[in-house]
Structure 1
């Protein structure tokens, strides 16, 4: 009789250990997922609004400078290509491009507002 209850207790203990091991694995998985999602960094930013504002200001400034530089390079490339097309003296396109280049050069050399 004693051995039957002892076997039952050991089965319950082993089932309890297996259950605790499963909970432990799930808890480690949740911790890894939270670390991967960087929840801690997000909460720190919410608790420090000045830091959040500063980061957003810096990222907006960098984005604006990048857009300005990119547009400048793009516009310079387009003007260069238009000059080359104007030098080809194509009947319709050449006149249009020449007028466009003249207008742009007049603006560059003209009055500064």
Structure 2
């Protein structure tokens, strides 16, 4: 398995840029992925959304969005982009919680590939 395999199985785009970013070093990439997936920010984002703490939720989602982009994880990035866009407008409704559920399902899908 290599970076292309993981990104292809997870339906990601532009694996060439991701491979360049990680110097085409599979172990470096996997290490970064595992670190990102273990980040407490995933759970904290859900907690902040439930408590309607939009500023904190925005900061968490924005940080995770950057990590997802850096790792070339398009499905996670797209969901986090939607979440940050709603939070930027100070939204705190049901749509955010549904997006968060979808995000966590996608995260689990990625974890099952590793």
Which TM-score applies when normalising by structure 2? 0.27
Q: Which has the higher helix share?
A: 1
Report 1 or 2 for greater relative contact order, CA contacts < 8 Å, sequence distance ≥ 6. Answer: 2
